[in-house]
Structure formats: structure tokens, C-alpha cells
């Protein structure tokens, strides 16, 4: 994205804020005075609406007890399905293809246990070497459950430079012995977006099912999972979607797989009209609801109700445009203000390949992150040398981005980071 008449001045930042069509949503969030939050790609901030719907669900429990299943502000029995409808517009699925349930890794286990059906020479799972470790652990364990050697049967596509993946390399690895592919939509370190449509078409041309981990894209960029014919996807709702720490995740299952028995079945896999019949034969829902396992974690789901109200009003396309613009502004400032200070932008510069955060590489990254926190900036560190900065479209201002870069410049000029050890804290 090209910024018109880009300038490094505070006045220019304030002018961008005046022009920002999403600026009023900033008032929806609890922003800590004297602090600038740049870690929304790890944990989104609390909104007043999320707080309200959590309190409403507590009131439902207090007022109705067991009748909260069907009564109150947010009845529990259809809560996951109702939220699935709202999420479906953000990920590009039909209302029946999306459900709020589980957590990222639990949902991955559910989906792999369902769609990994080794047959003949097709026994391998294809992933990549840059994906989030939890996904690898889950895939390794699913292979072990099937009696396969995890080192021999899990293929991890290598990166050419340690930052990015090339779709050509992934497609080349789609060999005849691959039964299933699981890839990220956005790489959690560099912020690179993979070409989901191209990879899905290539996998299906080889007769391989393919799914995506959308943790670092859901709520930040639009998806069209159904149109792209993706087989399945899963994500957390506590990053860009601001659903709260440990909040319940979400998953998408393509409608052409409806009727398939879930690999990990439970009573919430049931068709709703049969669920309380208490039969010992499961009648799975003819929707993504079949891939639920247990009772919804109501008090962990509740904040998402309010959060998704905001996303419905703001619109995911508008959020994406603001995200691209404010991240480009950050990149431009880094290029001009932090030149010759040892920084390298490890995030793709092309709009189509960049997600919702900027990865700033530096040999002293851990120390710099500690110094940023001392100066009231909340960044995110990824070993060994990455400072992730995430200007979030709904609550980060251009003026805040300008201040972050100025503070970084001061930290480097005054060598403030030298007061700290260059190692991560217990939680990075």
C-alpha cells in the first residue's frame, strides 16, 4: 500500500487518525493510560461489549440456573451455533460450516483424527518447518496413535531463508504418499500470508485433503474458505478477535464433509434434536456442529459475543484496509527513522503477502523488548531475534505508532537496552 505524501512528523500521524473511518471503535476498548499496546496478535484487548456480554452470561446463570440452557440473554444450547453464524462472515464459510468450540490444539486433534485416514502408500502428513510448535506436537501424536514413526511420516517443508515459505516448494512436496496437509494461513513469526486458494487447488489436484491454522489471520484478514474449497480450518478467538485469554476457539468444515463421523465424538457432536435423547448411538449434526466434543465453556465463550458485535459493525474488509495502511505506515517509519540501527523488517512488504503484524529483527531483540516495556510499550518477542509489533485496526492509532518508533529510536540512540540481559522472560 502506498501512503500519499508520507511524512515522519507527528502532525502527519494525527492527520491519518482524523481520516481513519474506524477511529471511533477505539473508544470501545480498555486502553491503559500511559501505555501503548502492540501485542494484539498474541492477545487482543478487552472491549466494553465483551465485558458486558460476559456479565450478562453470569447474570443468566445467577437468574436461571439450569434453565439457562434455553432462557436468558444468551441461551447456552445454541450459543456455539449462533456465534458460528457471526464468525462465518469473517472466515468465508456458510453459517453451517463454522462452529465455536474447543481450543486451537484440541480442534486440530479433532480435525486430524477425522480427516487423516491413511490408506496404502498414503500415510504421510505434510506441514512446514516454520509453523507454531503446538501444531507439530499434535500432528506427531496423531501419527503415533496410528502406529507410524513421527519422523518418517511427518514432512516439514523447509524455508529457503528461515523467514518465509515458497508455495512452489510446498506444492512440490505434495507427493503421492501424502494423506493430509496442515498449514498456517499466516506464519506466526514473519506474518507472511500463504496463497490458500492456490495451495488448496494443488492439493485437491493430487487427491489430498488440506486444512489451515488461521490463528494469526482470523479477525485480521478476510478469508473465503468455502469458495476456496478448503477442507477444514481452525483458529483461536483471543488474538485479533479479542475473545479473552484462553477463550474458546473456532473451526470450519467444508459442507461436502457433512455427515462424516467425527474422529473424537462427544455428546455435543449430536444433532440438536437428538442430543438429549441420551441414546448410545451418536446421530451427528449435519453441520460443523458435529465436530464439537463437550459442553460449551459458556463463561469463556461469552466475551466473544460482544466482541463479534464490533466486527459485524466494522466489517472485515474495512479492518483489513486499515490494517494494511497502519502497518505500511509503521514500515515506512522504521525505514526512515531507524535506518542504520541494525533493524531488519522480516515481514513481506507486498500487501497480498503480509498479515496483521510487523516482525522487526535485531540481534538485541530480547533486550530491546524489555526496554520498550520499561517505556510503556507492550511488544512481543520471538526467539532468537524478533520483535513483533501489531498495530490493531480497531484500537491502535497512527499517533501511537509514531510514538513507538520515536521511543525505539531513543532506546537505540541512548543504548537503554544495555541495562537488560538479552534473553527472554518466562512468557515471551
Give the CATH number of the domain where residue 384 resides: 3.90.1150.10
pLDDT of residue 232: 98
Name the domain boundary from 277, 294, 313.
313
Same domain, yes or no, for 285 and 258?
yes
Q: With respect to residue 159, please indicate whether it lies within any of the assigned structural domains.
A: yes
Given a cut of 80, whether residue 426 has pLDDT beyond it is no
Same domain, yes or no, for 221 and 346?
no
Same domain, yes or no, for 267 and 399?
no
pLDDT digits (tens, 9 = 90+) for 224-268: 999 999 999 999 999 999 999 999 999 999 999 999 999 999 999
| 104 carries a ligand binding annotation | yes
Sequence-distant (≥ 6) Cβ neighbours of residue 412 within 8 angstroms: 338, 341, 342, 368
pLDDT of residue 422: 82
Reported confidence tier of residue 424, pLDDT bands at 50, 70, 90:
confident
Same domain, yes or no, for 183 and 252?
yes
Torsion 128-129-135-141 (CA) sign: positive
Q: Round to whole Å and give the CA distance between 408 and 358.
A: 14
Burial 242-280 (b: 16+ CB within 10 A, else e): bbbeebbbbbbbbeebbeeebbbbeebbbeeeebeeeee
Reported confidence tier of residue 2, pLDDT bands at 50, 70, 90:
confident
| 234 carries a ligand binding annotation | no
Give the residue-averaged pLDDT of 374-401.
97
CA angle 186, 323, 3 (to 5 degrees): 120
Q: With respect to residue 39, please indicate whether it lies within any of the assigned structural domains.
A: no
Cell of 364: 538485541
Q: Round to whole Å and give the CA distance between 370 and 423.
A: 10
Q: Which of 251, 219, 213, 225 is nearest to 133 (CA)?
A: 213
Given a cut of 80, whether residue 427 has pLDDT beyond it is no
End-to-end CA distance of the chain: 30
208 near 181, Cβ under 8 Å? yes
Q: With respect to residue 123, please indicate whether it lies within any of the assigned structural domains.
A: yes
109 near 251, Cβ under 8 Å? no
Task: Give the count of domains, the chain.
Answer: 2
244 near 238, Cβ under 8 Å? yes
CATH number, residue 229:
3.40.640.10
pLDDT of residue 1: 82
Same domain, yes or no, for 127 and 211?
yes
Q: Return the C-alpha torsion angle 93, 98, 104, 105, nearest 10.
A: -110
Q: With respect to residue 213, please indicate whether it lies within any of the assigned structural domains.
A: yes
Same domain, yes or no, for 156 and 260?
yes
pLDDT of residue 132: 97
Reported confidence tier of residue 280, pLDDT bands at 50, 70, 90:
very high
Q: What mean pLDDT is reported for the chain? A: 97
pLDDT digits (tens, 9 = 90+) for 110-144: 999 999 999 999 999 999 999 999 999 999 999 99
Q: With respect to residue 46, please indicate whether it lies within any of the assigned structural domains.
A: no
Name the domain boundary from 291, 313, 335.
313
DSSP 8-state assignment for residue 253: E
Same domain, yes or no, for 411 and 293?
no
Name the domain boundary from 279, 313, 347.
313
Same domain, yes or no, for 301 and 353?
no
Q: With respect to residue 43, please indicate whether it lies within any of the assigned structural domains.
A: no
Reported confidence tier of residue 4, pLDDT bands at 50, 70, 90:
confident
Q: With respect to residue 285, please indicate whether it lies within any of the assigned structural domains.
A: yes
| 216 carries a ligand binding annotation | yes
| 238 carries a ligand binding annotation | yes
Q: Which of 216, 175, 218, 281 is nearest to 89 (CA)?
A: 218
Given a cut of 80, whether residue 428 has pLDDT beyond it is no
Q: Round to whole Å and give the CA distance between 108 and 234.
A: 7
- Strands laid side by side in the 154-157 sheet: 98-100, 250-253, 232-235, 209-213, 178-184, 124-128, 154-157
Reported confidence tier of residue 145, pLDDT bands at 50, 70, 90:
very high
Percent of all residues in the chain with a pLDDT value above 90, rounded to a whole number = 96
pLDDT of residue 284: 96
| 8 carries a ligand binding annotation | no
Q: With respect to residue 295, please indicate whether it lies within any of the assigned structural domains.
A: yes
Burial 158-195 (b: 16+ CB within 10 A, else e): ebeeebbbeeeebbebbeeebbbbbbbbbbbbbbbbbe
| 336 carries a ligand binding annotation | no
Same domain, yes or no, for 249 and 397?
no
Give the residue-averaged pLDDT of 362-366.
97
Q: Round to whole Å and give the CA distance between 373 and 392.
A: 18
Give residue 236's domain range: 51-313
pLDDT of residue 52: 98
Same domain, yes or no, for 374 and 289?
no
Same domain, yes or no, for 303 and 325?
no
pLDDT digits (tens, 9 = 90+) for 184-194: 999 999 999 99
Give the residue-averaged pLDDT of 283-302.
97
Cell of 254: 467444508
Reported confidence tier of residue 423, pLDDT bands at 50, 70, 90:
confident
pLDDT of residue 175: 98
| 61 carries a ligand binding annotation | no
Q: Return the C-alpha torsion angle 75, 251, 230, 144, nearest 10.
A: -150
CA angle 149, 254, 128 (to 5 degrees): 35
Transcribe 173-226 into DSSP letters: T--TTEEEEEEESB-TTT-BBP-HHHHHHHHHHTT-EEEEE-TTTTTTS---TT
Q: Which of 328, 311, 224 is nearest to 4 (CA)?
A: 328
| 105 carries a ligand binding annotation | yes
Give the residue-averaged pLDDT of 15-30.
98
pLDDT of residue 311: 98
Same domain, yes or no, for 332 and 308?
no
| 132 carries a ligand binding annotation | yes
pLDDT digits (tens, 9 = 90+) for 196-233: 999 999 999 999 999 999 999 999 999 999 999 999 99
Amino acid at each position: 500500500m502506498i501512503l500519499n505524501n508520507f511524512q515522519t512528523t507527528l502532525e502527519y500521524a494525527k492527520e491519518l487518525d482524523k481520516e481513519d473511518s474506524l477511529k471511533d471503535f477505539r473508544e470501545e476498548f480498555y486502553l491503559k493510560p500511559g501505555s501503548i499496546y502492540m501485542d494484539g496478535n498474541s492477545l487482543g484487548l478487552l472491549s466494553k461489549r465483551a465485558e458486558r456480554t460476559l456479565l450478562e452470561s453470569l447474570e443468566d446463570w445467577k437468574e436461571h440456573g439450569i434453565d439457562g440452557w434455553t432462557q436468558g440473554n444468551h441461551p447456552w444450547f445454541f450459543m456455539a451455533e449462533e456465534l458460528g453464524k457471526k464468525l462465518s462472515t469473517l472466515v468465508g464459510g456458510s453459517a453451517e460450516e463454522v462452529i465455536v468450540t474447543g481450543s486451537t490444539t484440541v480442534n486440530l486433534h479433532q480435525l486430524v483424527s477425522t480427516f487423516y485416514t491413511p490408506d496404502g502408500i498414503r500415510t504421510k502428513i505434510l506441514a512446514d518447518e516454520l509453523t507454531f510448535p503446538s501444531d507439530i506436537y499434535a500432528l506427531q501424536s496423531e501419527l503415533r496413535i496410528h502406529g507410524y514413526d513421527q519422523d518418517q511420516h511427518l514432512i516439514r517443508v523447509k524455508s529457503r531463508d528461515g523467514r518465509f515459505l515458497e508455495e512452489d516448494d510446498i506444492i512440490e512436496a505434495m507427493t503421492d504418499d501424502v494423506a493430509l496437509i496442515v498449514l498456517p494461513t499466516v506464519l506466526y513469526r514473519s506474518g507472511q500470508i500463504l496463497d490458500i486458494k492456490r495451495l488448496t487447488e494443488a492439493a485437491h489436484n493430487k487427491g489430498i485433503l488440506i486444512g489451515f491454522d488461521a490463528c494469526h489471520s482470523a479477525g485480521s484478514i478476510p478469508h473465503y474458505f468455502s469458495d476456496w474449497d478448503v477442507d477444514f480450518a481452525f483458529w483461536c478467538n483471543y488474538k485479533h478477535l479479542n475473545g479473552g485469554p484462553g477463550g474458546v476457539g473456532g473451526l470450519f468444515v467444508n459442507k461436502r464433509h457433512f455427515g462424516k463421523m467425527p474422529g473424537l465424538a462427544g455428546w455435543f457432536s449430536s444433532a440438536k434434536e437428538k442430543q438429549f435423547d441420551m441414546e448410545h448411538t451418536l446421530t451427528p449434526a449435519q453441520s460443523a456442529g458435529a465436530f464439537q466434543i463437550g459442553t460449551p465453556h459458556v463463561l469463556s465463550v461469552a466475551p466473544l459475543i460482544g466482541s463479534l458485535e464490533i466486527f459485524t459493525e466494522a466489517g472485515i474488509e474495512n479492518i483489513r484496509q486499515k490494517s494494511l495502511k497502519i502497518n505500511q505506515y509503521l514500515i515506512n517509519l522504521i525505514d526512515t527513522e531507524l535506518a542504520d540501527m541494525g533493524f531488519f523488517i522480516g515481514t513481506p512488504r507486498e500487501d497480498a503477502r503480509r498479515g496483521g503484524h510487523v516482525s522487526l529483527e535485531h540481534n538485541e531483540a530480547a533486550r530491546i523488548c524489555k526496554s520498550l516495556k520499561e517505556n510503556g510499550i507492550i511488544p512481543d518477542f520471538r526467539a532468537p531475534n524478533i520483535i513483533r509489533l501489531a498495530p490493531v485496526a480497531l484500537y491502535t492509532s497512527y499517533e501511537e505508532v509514531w510514538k513507538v518508533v520515536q521511543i525505539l529510536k531513543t532506546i537505540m540512540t541512548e543504548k537503554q537496552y544495555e541495562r537488560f540481559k538479552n534473553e527472554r522472560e518466562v512468557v515471551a
